[in-house]
Amino acid sequence: MQASSSQVTTEVAKRVGIIGAGIAGLVTAKVLLAKGFEVVVFDKEVTLGGVWAVSRTYPGLKANNSKETYCFSDHSHADTVGHHPTADDVRELLESYADRFNIRSNIRFACEVSQLSESVDETKPGFQLKVKDIKSEESETLYFPYVVICNGAFSKASVPEIEGMENFSGEIRHSSHCMPEDLDNATSVLTVGAGKSALDCASSAALKDKKSTLVFRQAHWMAPRYFPGGGRSDLRMVSRFAELFVEYPHRTNSRSFYMDPACRW
């Protein structure tokens, strides 16, 4: 979102509010800080990470991608990380990224943006954010000429209404709210769904010697991590060449050549 008023001064126009301290929020903050903007990042969690935050990850969670393709172009995973990073590995990557590029001091944790609207104050053109401190429960209104929304497409758990679920005597949890200790006292686990999260949760329960059952309407084909013979599938399907056609804030000479319409064929 961008304010259109010509009254915005150079100093004020350099202020940006970012909603969300996940991967997108951290990258946005890093790029804007390097450009000289004054940045404030808001996140309702007490730690950074977005969907990778401790409060949102489930037992056994790993990235679909390999560590070479699930990292920043200027900040990689540690050499000790396995082929497919665990949730802990991804959190460590994000924590070190925030520290390396001095982003952490610009993040306001446990701070929820409850409302975003156009500013009604003519002296403060742009947008107004109603922000609530979760710990103190105090609210304040802040003004920014620019606001970037990075709260993700999966920030809210979606639990379908199933007939009879109110009479179920066991525990019903969404995968994002399933913690490792939740499985300790369970004797059997029923997982509904056939996506990656469902397969991870069902496998995690089985590895803890629980009776694990998977229920789904339609099976989904999952791309294998390894081809017959041991070849890694991601290295065959993903390449740096394809990234030449993705827009970047800073272009190298080679990327400019490929991105310039006059040079395409």
Query: What are the structural domains, with CATH classification, of the chain?
Result: 10-149 (3.50.50.60), 173-215 (no CATH), 233-263 (no CATH)
- HEC per residue, the chain: CECCCCCCCHHHHCEEEEECCCHHHHHHHHHHHHCCCEEEEECCCCCCCHHHCHHHCCCCCECCCCCCCCCECCECCCCCCCCCCEHHHHHHHHHHHHHHCCCHHHEECCEEEEEEEECCCCCCCCEEEEEEECCCCCEEEEEECEEEECCCCCCCCCCCCCCCHHHCCCCCCCHHHCCHHHHCCCCEEEEECCCHHHHHHHHHHHHCCCEEEEECCCCCCCCCCECCCCCEHHHHHCCHHHHCCCCCCCCCHHHHHHHCHHHCC
Please give the model's pTM, rounded to 2 decimal places: 0.73
The pLDDT tens digits of the residues spanning 49-91 come to: 998 998 888 877 888 888 988 999 899 999 999 988 999 999 9
The pLDDT tens digits of the residues spanning 133-167 come to: 999 999 999 999 999 999 876 667 788 888 999 99
The pLDDT tens digits of the residues spanning 115-131 come to: 999 998 888 889 999 99
